[in-house]
Amino acid sequence: MADVDGVTSAEALWTLEFEAPRGWANGGVLVLETGRILGGDSHYYYVGKFSLVREKLDGVLKASHYHGDDVTAFGVRTKGFEARVVAQLQPTGLISGILISPTPGIGTLAFRMTRRHPLP
């Protein structure tokens, strides 16, 4: 699914779910476009960057609290955190992987994304 220039057909609107202690939850939306990650959920917005080489997605993002409860999908209260994104683009149009946060007390969290709409 990769284009010749290394930017990818992963460029699309995606829905996002996290594997929280009680199962898959805390959905949101992300746009992957020209190496950028933009999106959020009902409590945090996300900005970051990514690369995709041979269906392996690698990136970094910053999550910032903007509304309501400040408990993350990690189960930790914080106004913001950074995380490394390590994932695999599946031929079925799914992305699955983990978020690894260097922020003390945050940890690692599995996520999955479903492609919803190509970008115009």
| Spatial separation of the C-alpha atoms in residues 65 and 43, rounded to whole Å | 6
- 83 within domain boundaries: yes
6 band by pLDDT with thresholds 50, 70 and 90: very low
DSSP tag of 23: E
21 domain-assigned: yes
Establish if 5 belongs to a structural domain: no
Q: Give the range of the structural domain holding residue 39, as residue numbers without chain letter.
A: 12-118
3 inside domain: no
Q: Are 20 and 73 in contact (CB under 8 A)?
A: yes
3-class DSSP state of 66? coil
Structurally, how many domains does the chain consist of? 1
Pairing of strands 12-20, 94-101: unpaired
Q: Are 8 and 33 in contact (CB under 8 A)?
A: no
In a domain, 1, yes or no: no
Report phi then psi at 86, rounded to 5.
Answer: -130, 120
Q: Is residue 58 a part of any domain in this protein?
A: yes
Whole-model pTM: value is 0.87
pLDDT tens digits along 57-105: 999 999 999 999 998 888 889 999 999 999 999 988 899 999 999 988 8
Give the domain CATH number at 38.
2.40.128.380
21-49, pLDDT tens digit by residue?
A: 778 877 899 999 999 999 999 999 999 99
Residue 7 resides in a domain: no
